Amino acid sequence: MASADYDRMKEVKEFSESKIGVKGLSDSGITSIPRIFIHPPQTLSQLKPTSSSSFSSIHIPVIDLSNLDSPHHRPKIVDQIREASKTWGFFQVINHGVALSVLEETVNAVKSFHDQPHQVKAKISVGEERRGVVYTSNNDLYRSEAATWHDYLQVWMAPQPPEVERMPEICRREVIAWDTHAKKVAETLMELLSEGLGLEPGKFKELTFSDTRLFVGVCYPHCPQPDLTMGLASHTDPTVLTVLLQNHVPGLQVRHGDEWVDVKPVPGGLIINAGDFLQIVSNGEYNSIQHRVIANPCKEPRISIVMFFSLAKWKESDSYGPLPELLSPEKPAIYRNFTKQEYDDNFYSKGLDSKSFIDKIRI
Ligand SMILES: O=C(O)CCC(=O)C(=O)O
Ligand SMILES: [Fe+2]
């Protein structure tokens, strides 16, 4: 905040070290939020979504994955996914093969984790930044201009899963099970996305996206002043692909043209979105779209389980860019190649504001 007339960092540190979390603040019955959560007026003025009325007919595509193996249905599904990834960058899939009971168990397990007393959650060790198990409040607490109204549990499932004993007992079994299911869904989708660009189904496998999987179980507790803060600030995912499972409490919004569009929870649905890497390797055919979560005005917490699939290793050369197979004189590369180092440096210094990286490498 430009004109913060208080020692903001001190209050951020106190909140962080108290380990009470946003859930703890919410449960304590506060009626106003601490000032470190208050966002600047220019962000807040964009909170009134232009298409949020419940009558709005505009929503991200819902794609039915049944009959994927039928030679009659598959090309139609491939078309729908390509169109959705191009125009929206986001879509929901139904009939993806994961039982409703599994989805419910996963959501309930993450909810149970967050429902524990903060003293219990505080014992979860904070691992190295890119490894292990981390429980914390607020993405980017120190780097962003204002804190956001959520807590999260983060577990690196691959390349190496944490030792079982280090995972919270209350949701360990479900986290491990969800990892397997989400990976399978992501692999199927990446095949369909490959086919959508006229590539062999296995082409995107070369991105080894499923070898780095980050499980994030997010809780957006009730916020007493949802008009003053955000659940999660606007960003694009610095991933290849993201698979998201949410409970029935809404809050996720996707940028579509000039509008913020609510993503309505569809029972049994999974939300899929293309990350920055997919936009780059597809040479802009698929889009990594800005999204955000509004602070939760409902009494019930919003739960989301996000599985991030990132690039593990692509080519020996250690340089990344649009797939040569997709380039032609008519369709020249719109991004230059870049090194993993460049990408990581940008991401870790800029945090979630990684969209600027894509703009930086745009030719
Ligand atoms: O919780 C959500 O619905 C969105 C989470 C998200 O976008 C993220 O963690 O990158
Ligand atoms: Fe995201």
Q: List, for residues 41-50, the tens digit of each pLDDT value.
A: 988 988 875 5
Which band of pLDDT confidence, cut at 50, 70 and 90, is reported for residue 350? low
pLDDT value at position 347? Answer: 66
165 has a pLDDT exceeding 60: yes
> Does ligand 1 lie within 6 Å of residue 358's CB atom?
no
> Does ligand 1 lie within 6 Å of residue 218's CB atom?
yes
- Nearest C-alpha to atom 3 of ligand 1 is from which residue? 252
ipTM exceeds 0.90, yes or no: yes
What letter does residue 162 receive in the DSSP assignment?
Answer: P
Residue with token string 């879509």:
91
pLDDT value at position 316? Answer: 57
pLDDT value at position 286? Answer: 98
User: Quick one: which of 47, 265, 261 has its CA closest to 149?
Assistant: 47
> Does ligand 1 lie within 6 Å of residue 302's CB atom?
no
* Single-letter amino acid code for the residue at 14: E
Do the Cβ atoms of 311 and 361 come closer than 8 Å?
no
Continuous H helices in 245-354: 276-281, 340-350
User: Quick one: which of 115, 103, 126 has its CA closest to 170?
Assistant: 115
Name the token pair of 187.
Answer: 């692999």
pLDDT in tens, 96-135: 999 999 999 999 999 999 999 999 988 886 655 556 788 7
Best probe residue, ligand 1, of 138, 218, 241 (max atoms within 8 Å of C-beta): 218
Q: pLDDT exceeding 90 applies to what percent of the chain?
A: 67
Name the token pair of 310.
Answer: 């990132």
52 has a pLDDT exceeding 60: no
User: Quick one: which of 227, 248, 229 has its CA closest to 304?
Assistant: 248
All domains in the chain, ordered by first residue: 34-361 (2.60.120.330)
